[in-house]
């Protein structure tokens, strides 16, 4: 797959890429996603979490990489579990995967969501007792696959430990009535400190023991995301829900991509639209999602090597020139093939790499490259 999408663009013969039209219309900025690199990350994640399974987390349009293309390639690479956030997303993913994949959703609002989730054959992450009551109320035509969430300290949602036994009683009634199967117990941890995570894991294990004692043995346990899934074997359980590392986004202040064995898959690129004596202008700016607070603080990759980004305006940015710079030259602002990764930029403004990727506006077309080369399984 390789092509130019969007209006006002033409094939640029010199660069073999997509460049701005000679008349100055349109926009050259693109978010390029290398699906072969994505496939390599998937095999790396699979190896790192094995024998646990990898659930590919897809929230926010696959961390802004474009959910459809990501899901299709993941399926080809043998991913069987998808973490789709809400029911609407889960249904969209189900349309792509067909019946076999397991699709876990965990943002459920009400009985309507539950009914729609069951109808789309989704795995439902349930984090409060009201939803269990709602489930009894709708009496689903096929049993809902319930993953019960214990709140292990993040207090986002999840059943508080002191309410866990009451929730188990409700779930037992649902299972007995044929309205639910107990598929999983799960939680989400901060991964900010090992000590906090250890405390969370203890609560998690206690909740699981209580469930088993109540006659409810979950088929699956899942607790960790990228960081703990890679670093801490005892957190892997049956499934590890990995988002960031699948897309090659390393943790801010943590180990580098090389150490983790992952590679960035996305790159924000733009073309030179104006050349002055000392600087050039490229047509990507803060309206496309590049934080203007980064001006003067990082380098973009140009055909002549890294050059400092001097200013970030609404739809264009100014960077230091190089000898022979020409309109149409391509610059990688950040990401794959660039001088800075999303997380490198994030660290400059005290945020995380995911945030930098998610800011890339949806008006910036996503373009996919793939040679079809498959990594070894
Ligand atoms: C976002 C999210 C993940 C994935 O986290 P990463 O750090 O991106 O791997 C896993 N589980 C839940 C519940 C999440 O919201």
Say what the pLDDT of residue 356 is.
98
Give me the count of residues in the chain: 377
Say what the pLDDT of residue 156 is.
83
Say what the pLDDT of residue 372 is.
60
pLDDT by residue (tens digit) across 310-324? Answer: 999 999 999 999 999
CA nearest ligand 1 atom 6, residue: 243
Do the Cβ atoms of 223 and 237 come closer than 8 Å? yes
pLDDT by residue (tens digit) across 62-73? Answer: 999 999 999 999
Ligand 1 contact via 359 beta carbon (within 6 Å): no
pLDDT by residue (tens digit) across 7-39? Answer: 333 333 333 334 443 334 578 999 999 999 999
Ligand 1 centroid to Cα of residue 372, in Å, is 28
Neighbour-count burial of 276, counting CB atoms closer than 10 A to its CB (0-12 exposed, 13-18 middle, 19+ buried): exposed
Average pLDDT of the residues in 348-352: 97
* Position with higher pLDDT, 13 vs 227: 227
Say what the pLDDT of residue 155 is.
85
Q: What is the enclosing helix (H) or strand (E) of 175? A: helix 164-176
Ligand 1 contact via 59 beta carbon (within 6 Å): yes
pLDDT by residue (tens digit) across 199-216? Answer: 999 999 999 999 999 999
Q: Measured between alpha carbons, how far is 81 from 229 in angstroms, rounded to an integer?
A: 15
Same CATH fold assignment for domains 9-32+262-369 and 36-253: no
Phi-psi region of 80 (alpha: psi -120 to 50; beta: other; left: phi over 0): alpha
**Of 243, 250, 265, 342, which is best to mutate to test ligand 1, by the most ligand atoms within 8 angstroms of its C-beta?**
243
Share of the chain above pLDDT 70, in %: 92
Ligand 1 centroid to Cα of residue 167, in Å, is 24
Do the Cβ atoms of 266 and 33 come closer than 8 Å? yes
Average pLDDT of the residues in 51-61: 97
Neighbour-count burial of 137, counting CB atoms closer than 10 A to its CB (0-12 exposed, 13-18 middle, 19+ buried): exposed
Say what the pLDDT of residue 75 is.
98
Ligand 1 contact via 225 beta carbon (within 6 Å): yes
Say what the pLDDT of residue 371 is.
84
Q: Which atom of ligand 1 is nearest to the CA of 229?
A: 9
Span 9-32+262-369: which CATH code?
Answer: 2.40.37.10
Average pLDDT of the residues in 89-116: 97
Do the Cβ atoms of 242 and 45 come closer than 8 Å? yes
Ligand 1 contact via 188 beta carbon (within 6 Å): yes
CA nearest ligand 1 atom 13, residue: 188
Average pLDDT of the residues in 74-87: 98
Ligand 1 contact via 62 beta carbon (within 6 Å): no
Say what the pLDDT of residue 26 is.
72
CB-based contacts of 22-25 (< 8 A; 24+ apart in sequence): 24/273
- Does 349 score more than 80 pLDDT? yes
Span 36-253: which CATH code?
Answer: 3.20.20.10
**Of 42, 224, 225, 254, which is best to mutate to test ligand 1, by the most ligand atoms within 8 angstroms of its C-beta?**
225
Q: Measured between alpha carbons, how far is 111 from 183 in angstroms, rounded to an integer?
A: 19
pLDDT by residue (tens digit) across 133-151? Answer: 999 999 999 999 999 999 9
**Residue spans per domain, the chain:** 9-32+262-369, 36-253
Ligand 1 centroid to Cα of residue 144, in Å, is 23
pLDDT by residue (tens digit) across 159-194? Answer: 999 999 999 999 999 999 999 999 999 999 999 899
Say what the pLDDT of residue 2 is.
37
Ligand 1 contact via 241 beta carbon (within 6 Å): yes
Global pTM?
0.91
Do the Cβ atoms of 122 and 95 come closer than 8 Å? no
């Amino acid at each position: 797959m390789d092509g130019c999408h969007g209006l006002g663009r033409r094939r640029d013969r010199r660069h073999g890429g997509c460049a701005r039209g000679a008349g100055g219309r349109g926009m050259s900025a693109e978010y390029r996603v290398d699906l072969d690199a994505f496939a390599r990350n998937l095999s790396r994640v699979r190896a790192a979490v094995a024998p646990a399974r990898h659930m590919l987390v897809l929230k926010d349009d696959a961390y802004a990489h474009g959910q459809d293309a990501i899901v299709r390639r993941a399926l080809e690479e043998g991913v069987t579990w998808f973490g789709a956030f809400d029911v609407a997303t889960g249904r969209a993913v189900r349309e792509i995967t067909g019946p076999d994949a397991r699709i876990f959703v965990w943002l459920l609002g009400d009985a309507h969501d539950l009914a729609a989730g069951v109808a789309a054959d989704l795995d439902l992450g349930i984090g409060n007792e009201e939803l269990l009551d709602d489930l009894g109320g709708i009496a689903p035509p096929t049993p809902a696959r319930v993953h019960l969430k214990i709140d292990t300290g993040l207090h986002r949602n999840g059943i508080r430990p002191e309410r866990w036994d009451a929730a188990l009683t409700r779930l037992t009634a649902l299972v007995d009535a044929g309205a639910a199967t107990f598929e999983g117990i799960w939680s989400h941890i901060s991964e900010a400190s090992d000590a906090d995570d250890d405390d969370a894991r203890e609560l998690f294990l206690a909740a699981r023991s209580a469930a088993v004692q109540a006659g409810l043995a979950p088929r699956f346990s899942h607790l960790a995301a990228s960081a703990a899934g890679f670093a801490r074997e005892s957190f892997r359980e049956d499934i590890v829900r990995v988002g960031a590392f699948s897309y090659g986004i390393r943790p801010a202040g943590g180990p580098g991509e090389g150490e983790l064995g992952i590679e960035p898959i996305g790159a924000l690129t733009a073309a030179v639209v104006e050349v002055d004596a000392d600087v050039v202008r490229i047509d990507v700016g803060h309206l496309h999602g590049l934080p203007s607070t980064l001006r003067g603080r990082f380098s973009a990759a140009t055909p002549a090597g890294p050059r400092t980004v001097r200013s970030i305006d609404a739809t264009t940015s100014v960077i230091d020139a190089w000898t022979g710079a020409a309109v149409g030259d391509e610059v990688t602002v950040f990401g794959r093939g660039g001088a800075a990764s999303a997380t490198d930029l994030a660290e400059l403004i005290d945020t995380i790499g995911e945030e930098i990727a998610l800011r890339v506006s949806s008006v910036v077309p996503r373009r996919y490259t793939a040679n079809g080369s498959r990594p070894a399984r």
